[in-house]
Structure 1
Amino acid sequence: MADQEDDVRALLNDSGEPDLKHAIARAREVVDRLDNVVLNIAVTGVTGAGKSTFVNAIRDVSNTEVGAAKIGETETTMEIKDYPYPTMPNVKIWDLPGLGTKNFKAKTYIKDVKFQNYDFFIIVSEKRFKEYDIMLAKEIQKNKKNFYFIRSMIDQDVANAERRWVTENATLQKIKNDCQENLMELGSPPVFLILSFYLEKFDFSKLQNALERDLPDRKRDALVRSLPVYSRQCLEKKYNTFQKAVWALAVVSGGITAAPVPGLSVACDVAMVATFFTTCYHSFGLDDKSLTKVGNRVDKPILEMVKESAIVRAIAGKTFLSSKLAARLGGVIESVCSLIPVAGNIAAAGVSFATTRSVLEEGLKELYRVALKVIEMANLN
């Protein structure tokens, strides 16, 4: 019984709340925010700037996949279109029509694209930012929303300059200087140099840092969880975000156990834990599609290596994962409830918290370890 009391004290200590009722209420709020937070990102710019390619890249979707934003040499985005993240449908990228096109005139653009619906704007250009870009940024400033300038297709500039014996660093600095000079009337805001096909190159990590800095906590976590894994730093941010969810999920598990409904706890624990691991699995880029894409790019058998992990195999075979979790979580909890009919439910909450937290932490660490190995093999360190 002393061990069970220790488990309950640990639950309350981790929650920062005075009693079980308040701890469970706070945890449910945290879990609800993690699962249901909405983030809307608008991508805009003049025709042909590479908006749709960027939209696909940050969703980790190739240009030819079903559900990808259409690309082409002429204007292909003729209407406002949302593209949810494949594994986080509440996070959406909105591909907006080019500013100044036939159906979206400059004077009414802000109203026509339903400006108020987006958390922030990304303005894309393949060369110097034009009058329309600056005008749009001014309107965004007036409405007190954030915007970020992206200069796309950087590889072409670097390749052309190298033919003239100009170094990559010199070319990148010249591009930034030119863009910021062009944007001087806006206070020379930072310009992020992006290569959509290789997000690990140039300034994508700086862009991510800027977005995280400016977003509120709950939306920041949604952004981090949704982005493709393009570096070790990106993976570590994802890992830290999921670690925050472990406490809340474990407390909610304890709360369910305290409810005197036989069998409810195990079923709910299994569903929550399986969903959590599956979300981590996709966010870390360990699904077959993501691994095949990375393996083809570096010409290494990454998919086969990852399948050596028992938890990755279990997640890929969904039924097997549920059965393993049920076996791990069920026995201890049910036995405590049967021994002490009333007080046992409170004690079981502590046991459930400790057991579920242990399972979550172990699984998360293993998925992180496998994802680190993928990054090493893909030379994304």
Structure 2
Amino acid sequence: MDFDFIPEEDMQEMNSALEDGDLCKATERLRESLKEIEKATLDIAITGQSGTGKSSFVNAIRGMGDEEEGSAETGVVETTMKPTPYTHPQHPNVTIWDLPGIGTPNFAEADYLECVEFRRYDFFIIISSERFKQYDIDLAKAIQAMDKKFYFVRSKVDNDLHASQVQRKKTYNEENVLKEIRDNCIKNLNDEGIDEPRVFLLSLLELDKYDFYKMQETVDKELPTHKRQIFLESLPNISLPILEKKREALRKEIWKWSFVSCAVAVPYTGHKFLTCDIAILVTSMIRIQKAFGLDKLSLVKLANKSGKDVSELKSVVKSPLDINKELLTTLLARGKTGTLKKVEYVASFIPILGTMTAGGILFGTTYRTLCDFLKEMAEDAARVLRKALE
């Protein structure tokens, strides 16, 4: 994508925001929209029978290993005795709930829904490592009755593939085996009255394989807009398609950050003007950095997980790791090149902003600066991922 111009869809959205010609009202609406995303919470319930890998999935979806500090306890027997919240290490408004296994002596089916406070969660992931049992079916029906979204995860497919490869040395075909497992799960669920079940095959040891990206896309489409954004930003950076998805989602927010920072800055002059503008933009840039896992904490975690020294990962990062006012001042100065031409372009679509020369210049500068920064972060994240996988 060329980041030197504002995409048509963003221009149209800006036009809609300013359709009544009131800059102050439009700015306030955009500010509230951004706050809604920043304050939004996402509660994801991971449930199913004991021993299916629920706790490992809780750790994997947060980009953590099973032995890291703060990870969910795992084991071959039921280790979860009550609904246990695990906050995302980099996105505290995202909470993954490890729910007790249904059907265990500690949680009989009749009491399960009440005990785990099912209405608290945004959506549910029902995990099974084998055939989905009656407990799973009843659970899905109860969730469906509450008009909540749920998804089936068939875990440990890597074990099934290995067993099939041993047993079918001459005829083994991974794609055929995966299809066989998926079709069997869907038929089983259909027979029990679950229409069009969403079934995803995963390896909790290698989350980037099989159906994880497909599951992410499905959940993404079905979440409300403000929750979709934080869901995407919180996903572990395990594949290039996920990095690209994050880049696309964050790009759509850039014009809003730029517009609000511009509207805040226009009434002021001198140092006060600059401080207000930079404070908003620094916050936005830190958010982008965290989404791509390029902050110091995320790099250390990735280094430990991949067996690399953190200096190896940092060696492929071309953009600055320390985001502060001084860095942004430098980037804004660099971004002023060619901005006057952008003012004419903006003015042709949004006269109320374009005719305010200071506002138009600032908007063009901040928009260009954030787009360039996003592009560099996405490219750095891809390099870091490749280095970690070496």
TM-score, normalising length: structure 1: 0.84
CA distance in 2, matches of 1:215, 1:332: 35
Instruction: Classify 1:357/1:14 alpha carbon distance in 2 versus 1 (closer, same or farther; 3 Å).
Output: farther
**Partner of 1:41 in structure 2?**
44
**Which letter maps to 2:139?**
L
**1:314 paired residue number:** 322
- In the alignment, is the contact (CA less than 8 A) between 1:292 and 1:303 conserved in 2? no
Structure-1 residue corresponding to 2:180: 174
Look up the match of 1:338: none
Partner of 1:245: 253
CA distance in structure 2 between the partners assigned to 1:332 and 1:294 by the alignment = 32
Matched, 1:94 2:104: no
Query: Are positions 1:355 and 2:355 aligned together?
Result: no
Aligned length: 356
1:132 aligns with 2:132: no
Q: Which moved more, 1:301-310 or 1:271-280?
A: 301-310
Identity of aligned residues (%): 38
Deviations 1:85-144, CA, capped at 9 Å, x for gaps: 222111111111111233422112122211111111100011111111000001111111
One-letter amino acid of the counterpart of residue 171, structure 1: V
Q: SS state of the match for residue 75, structure 1?
A: coil
Q: Does 1:198 align with 2:206?
A: yes
Unaligned 5+ segments in structure 1 are 1-10, 316-320, 334-345
Match 1:369 to one of 361, 376, 379: 379
1:150 aligns with 153
Q: Which consecutive unaligned segments of at least 5 residues does structure 2 have?
A: 1-9, 337-355
Q: 1:322 corresponds to which letter in structure 2? A: K
Q: Is the 8 A contact 2:51 2:77 kept in 1?
A: yes
Q: Residues 93 and 58 from structure 1, CA distance in 2 versus in 1: closer, same or farther, beyond 3 angstroms? A: same
CA contact (8 A) 2:55 2:73 kept: yes
Which of these residues, 81, 85, 88, is aligned with residue 85 of structure 1? 88
CA distance in 1, matches of 2:387, 2:334: 39
Return closer, same or farther for 1:255/1:71 CA change in 2, 3 Å cut-off.
same
> Which of 98, 108, 112 matches 1:109?
112
**SS of residue paired to 1:41:** strand
Cα RMSD between the aligned structures? 3.0
Counterpart of 2:227 (choices 219, 229, 251) is 219
The one-letter amino acid paired with 2:220 is: E
Return the alpha-carbon distance in structure 2 between the equivalents of residues 222 and 92 of structure 1: 11
Q: Is the 8 A contact 1:124 1:150 kept in 2?
A: yes
Structure with more relative contact order (C-alpha pairs < 8 Å, separation 6 or more) = 1
Relative to 1, partners in 2 of residues 1:155 and 1:289: Cα closer, same or farther, differing over 3 Å? farther
Q: Deviations over 1:186-235 (max 9, x none)?
A: 13513211112212111101111111121122221221111011222111
